[in-house]
Amino acid sequence: MTPEPLTPLDLAFWNIESAGHPLHMGGLAVFDADTPDAARRAAGLLADRAARVPGLNTRIRPVLLPVGAAARHVAPGYDPSDHVHLTAPVRDFFAAAGALMQQPLDRERPPWAAHVLPGADGTSFAVLFTFHHAHADGMRAASYVLSLLDPAAHEAPAAAEAPRTERNGSALRLPDPRELPGLVRGAVGDAGRALAIGSAMARAALDVRSSPALVSRATGARRADGATVDLRDVNRVREATGGTVNDVLLAVVAGGLRRWLDKRGDGSDGVRPRALVPVSLRDPDNPGASGNRLSGYLVRLPVDEADPLARLRAVRKVMDRNKQAGPASGPGAAALLAEVIPPFGHLFGGGLIARSGRLFYDLLVSSVPLRGSHGLTLANSRLREACPLAPLAPGQSLAVGITTYEDRICYGLLADAVAVPDLDLLARSITEEAAELVAACGG
């Protein structure tokens, strides 16, 4: 395989990580064990299948030119068993996942891992899949995971090699002089877009109304938890109020935060935190293409609004406005600014970029689809629940991941363990908020 240059956004994710603050995403998959040794068999199958999934064998290494750039190379001596770990039996899958999420991935190897967690009761096991954000975005990571499960249970395509786009290919060669006029026009266009996005970010930073509960000192300690909501209930709310399922899911986050802040005594009056909602620019017909393809919307969550239906209307209004503007503009499109930073800027400014995230958003709320997935199994054990764990940016105490599997929606919560010692309280608050919203709609 020819070395594949990292896209600017991949390079940004690779360089803003530090040893004390890992920047990888996770997915906790919980299975009903069909036999007492199901976890051990699952670990063996994962290692065997990982050897045949394109992309999992690549690591990220710096290149000579341009200065600061990096590329994916096939790792010499790649052994998938180095990435699949069978742990001792655990009693709490989320507690174990939180401890594992604070461990950095080995940057000298392909940056992914699968931790198989046998349940202490012998009737279930879980797998925590972790991928560095420079290696995969949410859809790409989901494609990898589906490729590692029992093949008869789904029809998801195997992760594919990335197409060689002109933008990627140009990172390791000098431009042809005949291309210069086009490159200049592109640079001017990029600069104009960057100025517009930067201006929108500055306006969004005015009148910030967040909460100290959403700020951390970036300790690196992690805590994980989850809350599940019935998809049928969410659809009933959507049908009664209009809008989209995502509008309902975001309103539940806003209401859950309100309940949590009030219960812990912090108060929710005047609190409207800025949630960054990533938007995939990936072709849904090619989920296996490598490289992050992300923009985003910035949403002021109406945590200070007491009425659940009013919260939903407020979320729907701002989301409609974001969609009308499109994902390539507005303050949520900050990820696109990575394209106008030269590689050496990512290399030497990674720490500054990492610390700046807190300035323009307060928490991440990311939705990861498992398209058309149902009846998934591993080692003939049925997948009961899938919970995404979104990466936690420096200075922020909470990240929320959302995914739908069969008739259940799971909110995966990853928090700074020092700043949020009561993450279980937030998980319960999200469940309570969903129930109240259903009741408000006559459900």
pLDDT classification of 369: cutoffs 50, 70, 90? confident
d(CA 165, CA 156) in angstroms, rounded, equals 24
Nearest C-alpha neighbor of 9 from the set 30, 23, 28? 23
**Residue 195: other Cβ atoms inside 10 A:** 11
Q: Six-digit token pair at 215?
A: 């700020």
pLDDT classification of 422: cutoffs 50, 70, 90? very high
What percentage of the chain reaches a pLDDT higher than 70? Answer: 76
The model's pLDDT over 283-337, given as tens digits with 9 standing for 90+, comes to 666 655 566 767 788 899 999 999 999 999 999 999 999 888 876 665 555 555 5
Helices marked H in 149-226? 166-169, 180-204
Average pLDDT, the chain: 83
Predicted confidence at residue 160, as pLDDT, reads 33
State the average pLDDT over residues 187-192: 46
Q: Which of 48-62, 155-169, 203-217, 365-379 has the lowest mean pLDDT?
A: 155-169
State the average pLDDT over residues 141-151: 92
Predicted confidence at residue 324, as pLDDT, reads 87
pLDDT at 27 over 80: yes
For residue 337, CA distances in Å to 205, 289, 307, 358 come to 17, 21, 37, 16
Spell out the residues 6+ positions from residue 199 whose beta carbon is closer than 8 angstroms to its own. Answer: none
Predicted confidence at residue 199, as pLDDT, reads 55
State the average pLDDT over residues 147-156: 70
pLDDT at 47 over 90: yes
State the average pLDDT over residues 265-278: 92
State the average pLDDT over residues 187-201: 51
Predicted confidence at residue 138, as pLDDT, reads 84
d(CA 193, CA 80) in angstroms, rounded, equals 42
pLDDT classification of 437: cutoffs 50, 70, 90? very high
CB contact at 8 A, 432 and 257: no
The model's pLDDT over 335-357, given as tens digits with 9 standing for 90+, comes to 555 565 666 565 555 555 555 56
pLDDT at 190 over 80: no
d(CA 108, CA 112) in angstroms, rounded, equals 11
In sequence order, the β-bridge partners of residue 229 are 409
pLDDT at 441 over 70: yes
State the average pLDDT over residues 268-278: 92
State the average pLDDT over residues 234-249: 94
Predicted confidence at residue 287, as pLDDT, reads 52
pLDDT at 175 over 80: no
pLDDT classification of 394: cutoffs 50, 70, 90? confident
pTM: 0.85
pLDDT at 401 over 50: yes
pLDDT at 416 over 70: yes
Predicted confidence at residue 163, as pLDDT, reads 29
d(CA 325, CA 200) in angstroms, rounded, equals 12
